[in-house]
Amino acid sequence: MSFTNRFGWSISRESLFEDCRRKYYFHYYLSWEGWKKTASPLRQEAFKLKRLVSLPLWRGQLVHYVTAKVLESMRRKGKIPPAKDVASYTAERFQQQLDFSRRKLYLSQPKKRGDRLNIDWLALFEHEYGRELSKISIERTLDESVQGVECLLRSPIIDIISKTDPAHWIIENIDLAEFAQVFDFEGARVFAKTDFIYTGNDGSFNIIDWKTFRRKEGDTEDEKTGKAGTQLGVYGYYAANVLGKPIEKVRLYEVNLLGPGNHIEQIINRENIDTFCAHIRGGISRLSSLLVDRDIDKNLPLPHRHFPKNVSDSCRFCNFFRICLDEKSSLRLE
Ligand code: SF4
């Protein structure tokens, strides 16, 4: 089967573009087809580096995965699973994944077999780069992962969900590692990525976004960057324009599983959708400005010199450091 590198837009894609154009180039273009044995060594390396994760990212992925499994279990059995079983399942996955990465099995084993994800597949940044991974940081990541799923089980929203009809639940299918919510916006594919959707007993259409980061007091980063309004608009557009739900019935709940577990309700309105439409047009225009003839159908990048490096202290922690700035590396793109 052959795949096409199709142009798309998502909040995270645009954020990577704004962060460092060269990183964006490595991630979305140089790494493409790097899984093939016939690909150049540089392309293969970019593909490998693209899939490295940091400890906080790993923690988030694991908590999201177990959360999806909890919801699947609730749908099958009609009750919330015991906290101790969920905690031990989380710890078991954690250890299996850590062992997989430590033994660098990501170099020899595929992430997907057929259309299913190998859930124990993990490539930690520190293992690939030979950086120190302290026992304390590993233990803290395990503790936080377990805390995250425990927080889910005692969060008020899980109780609300359990009283709704599971026939109307849409659970993120992590085993397939695919975005279920992809839609077309003026010729570009847009990824909405909803974690969980349920229909309330009052007929409301509820989208849940599980957050797995530690928000500092007074931290309003999303509001400052305007991401929050755009995010609401993405969900609103998807619910109203793609699924045809009445906009006044659509709700977004943010639940921070590394916080107290309370949910923050956001009501989505037409203004959010207008914000999103204006934002995404600008985003697609910026992203496509680095394509040959700005052609999003062909999606061919300009030569890499058009994607400048944004060098800073954080480059040492960038997945692509080796092929970008590491002078000891023989595989570098100047
Ligand atoms: S190492 Fe720095 S300059 Fe290079 S891709 Fe990463 S963030 Fe950009």
Atom index in ligand 1 nearest the CA of residue 26 equals: 5
Within a domain: 24: no
- 283 is a domain residue: yes
Q: What is the pLDDT of residues 133-168, one digit of tens each?
A: 999 999 999 999 999 999 999 888 999 999 999 999
Least confident of 24-28, 231-235, 279-283, 285-289: 231-235
pLDDT band at 223 (very low <50, low <70, confident <90, very high): very low
User: What's the whole-number mean pLDDT along residues 231-237?
Assistant: 81
Q: How far is the CA of 308 from the centre of ligand 1 (A)?
A: 9
Structure tokens at 163: 């009283």
In the prediction, which pLDDT does 225 show?
45
Average pLDDT, the chain: 88
* Rounded-to-integer distance, Cα 78 and Cα 65, Å: 19
Pocket of ligand 1 (CB under 6 A): 20, 22-23, 26, 309-311, 315, 318, 320-321, 324-325
Atom of ligand 1 nearest to the CA of 311: 3
Split at pLDDT 50, 70, 90, the class of 107 is very high
Q: Is residue 49 part of a domain?
A: no
Residue 154 lies in a domain: no
Q: Give tens-digit pLDDT for 257-294.
A: 887 667 777 777 788 788 888 888 999 999 999 999 99
Residue 3 belongs to some domain of the structure: no
Question: Within a 10 A sphere around the Cβ of 21, how many other Cβ atoms?
Answer: 17
pLDDT at 227: 64
Residue 209 inside a domain? The answer is yes
Which pLDDT belongs to residue 176? 65
Residue 92's Cβ-count burial label (10 Å; 0-12, 13-18, 19+) is exposed
Ramachandran area for residue 269 (φ above 0: left; ψ -120 to 50: alpha; else beta):
beta
User: Which two three-digit tokens encode residue 158?
Assistant: 């899980």
Q: Which residues pair with 212 in a beta bridge?
A: none
* Residues 75 and 166 sit within 8 Å (Cβ to Cβ): yes
| 212 found inside a domain | yes
Domain span at residue 246 reads 163-301
* 186 part of a folded domain: yes
- Compute, in angstroms, the gap from residue 66 CA to the centroid of ligand 1: 32
Q: Which residue out of 18, 310, 313 has the highest number of ligand 1 atoms within 8 Å of its CB and is therefore the one to mutate?
A: 310
Ligand 1 atom nearest 22 alpha carbon:
5
Structurally, how many domains does the chain consist of? 1
The percentage of the chain sitting over the pLDDT mark of 90, rounded to a whole number, equals: 59
Which atom of ligand 1 is found nearest the CA of 320? 6
Q: How far is the CA of 6 from the centre of ligand 1 (A)?
A: 23
